Structure 1
Amino acid sequence: METTDAPIDGISLTDALMRLLRLKTTPVALQMFERVEDMQAVPRIRRPDGTIHTADQIVGQAARLGFTVGITADDLVGPQCSTVLGLAPRSEEWLRGEPMAGVWFATQEDSAAHQRAMHCVPHGRYRAMAVSPWNSGRLPTPDIVLVYANPAQMILLINGLQWSGYRKLEWGAVGESACADSWGRALATGEPSLALPCFPERRYGGVADDELLLALKPVDLAKAIAGVERLAANGLRYPIPPYGTQMDVRAGMSRSYGGRKV
């Protein structure tokens, strides 16, 4: 997908994010390509080379192994993954979602309703996708960045995003195929998109039990990191130390909400 933002230094911002939130998983840059040749020209790009994967596995190779990987629809198992990325159409067969009926959903109607609810990149423009650790510099202008974090880390990152220009952030959950809630929604709408990673993301993509996923444009992530820096200067840092359920709360509250710098 095209981006109008100037290149953002993913190397220094990854360093800041790891320092501030102590993430255990490296943020991942994701970029869509109109031409397969442009994807193949990415430095040190890996290709599945005849093997078939889920999109979760491809993202997992970047997040967990540090690989830079590029794919087309032919590299993905079935249309479920490729349709979310806009590499395949929302066909009538796909919209029926018949393979999920009786497995993930009670009826055919439930399965079809789930398919209709998913955020997908519009089909017809893009032919390929690539992912890479954000700090590799191999995708200097990604469409979105994927951040895996535990709930405590994630709320501070969201707090950072809301530090200035505040607005309430609201998300949904399609359940199975939750990649539609994260990278699907972020690519389709341009909005920061938080998701509860689904069963396949954890089974095939290596997502840990305690990880949530936030997908957002690089400019929004840079803004969030700057906000987390300001929160840290106010003493609102990760890890968040437990105060104690029976302690007199006034001393702690004066530090967290009284404007005192620590």
Structure 2
Amino acid sequence: MTYETIANDLIELLGLKGSPVAVKLAKTQADIPPGCQKIDEKHRHCQFVQEARLRGLTGYATRAEHQCKGGASVMGIEPAPEIVADGTTYQKLGNFKTVEGAVETVHAIPRLDETNYASVYAPLEKAEFEPDVVVFVVTPRQALRLSQAYLHTSGGRIASDYSGIQSLCADAVVAVKQRGVPNMTLGCNGSRKYSGIAEDEVILGFPPQDLGAMVEALRTFKQKWG
């Protein structure tokens, strides 16, 4: 199945609002997919994901286009500012009672060690590149069906590893790219404020190679459960 077919099937079978979003991290300018254009506006990673999901944005963002330095840093696009790396930012924002608690959390957040040139985005049905991760912004019921579809072939369990900060970047992209398994996150203050994720929506990231089998599972569920 092509990504276009997979995406259209997922949208139809789950009744998704918008599209699953293909995300790729390009190590160098030469790794930018052919024909992919730089995004003109400056945004946060979570906003780029939402723009691709809801408005069909396709393009790439370098360090200059990333407004959220925390998100850009965990994806390897730029070094983390000291006030982010040492927990000061999150402690001052009120996320943590102490700097020590902030530091412990920041150090536990998934982050890439390698340096990347840009992040690349597209609705999955328009992706003309191999994504590292496919991000879903969905209702809890749709998240349930996606989880069941992922487990349909081999069983097991799905982790939900998050801390309420750096959610669409560290949790939904970096953790999935590093571990090769899905992760679910609830968003963070920034992503819900700036990107318009609704109160009844959660976020999941999936390795792209699992999606074809998930579509087949969803078809089975439709036959058995309606």
**TM-score, normalised by the number of residues in structure 1:** 0.79
Change (3 A) 1:20 1:78: closer
Question: Residue 122 in 1 paired to residue 113 in 2?
Answer: yes
Question: Residue 215 in 1 paired to residue 208 in 2?
Answer: no
Check conservation: 1:122, 1:188, Cα contact below 8 A: no
Aligned residue for 1:43? 35
Aligned residues: 224
Answer 1 or 2: which has greater helix percent: 2
Of the two, which has the highest radius of gyration? 1
Aligned residue for 1:177? 166
- Cα deviation code 1:119-145 (max 9, x no counterpart): 112233x21110000101333x11111
Check conservation: 2:84, 2:90, Cα contact below 8 A: no
Deviation at 1:94, TM superposition (A): 3.8
Deviation at 1:70, TM superposition (A): 0.6
Aligned residue for 1:133? 123
Q: Please give the alpha-carbon distance, in whole angstroms, between the structure 2 residues aligned to 1:123 and 1:38.
A: 14
Q: Please give the alpha-carbon distance, in whole angstroms, between the structure 2 residues aligned to 1:182 and 1:44.
A: 23
What letter is aligned with 2:22?
A
**Pairing of 1:93-172 with structure 2 (within 5 A):** 94-103=84-93, 104-124=95-115, 126-139=116-129, 141-172=130-161
Aligned residue for 1:259? none
- Cα deviation code 1:127-169 (max 9, x no counterpart): 1110000101333x11111111101111011111111111112
Query: What residue ranges of structure 2 are gaps of 5+ in the alignment?
Result: none
Match of 1:33 among 26, 33, 38: 26
Query: What residue ranges of structure 1 are gaps of 5+ in the alignment?
Result: 1-7, 238-262
Deviation at 1:222, TM superposition (A): 1.9
Q: Please give the alpha-carbon distance, in whole angstroms, between the structure 1 residues aligned to 2:68 and 2:222.
A: 45
Question: Residue 192 in 1 paired to residue 185 in 2?
Answer: no
Match of 1:204 among 194, 202, 205: 194
Match of 1:54 among 31, 44, 60: 44
Q: Please give the alpha-carbon distance, in whole angstroms, between the structure 1 residues aligned to 2:84 and 2:194.
A: 21
Change (3 A) 1:44 1:168: closer
**Deviation >3 Å, runs of 4+:** 89-94
Aligned residue for 2:12? 19
Question: Residue 71 in 1 paired to residue 44 in 2?
Answer: no
Identity %: 22
- Cα deviation code 1:69-118 (max 9, x no counterpart): 21112221253011121223467654312122131222211211121121
Deviation at 1:10, TM superposition (A): 1.2
Check conservation: 1:46, 1:67, Cα contact below 8 A: no
Check conservation: 1:58, 1:69, Cα contact below 8 A: no
Change (3 A) 1:164 1:38: closer
Q: Please give the alpha-carbon distance, in whole angstroms, between the structure 2 residues aligned to 1:88 and 1:148.
A: 26
Counterpart secondary structure, 2:92: coil
- Cα deviation code 1:18-46 (max 9, x no counterpart): 1111001211111111212432x543524
Change (3 A) 1:46 1:95: closer
Q: Please give the alpha-carbon distance, in whole angstroms, between the structure 2 residues aligned to 1:137 and 1:114.
A: 34
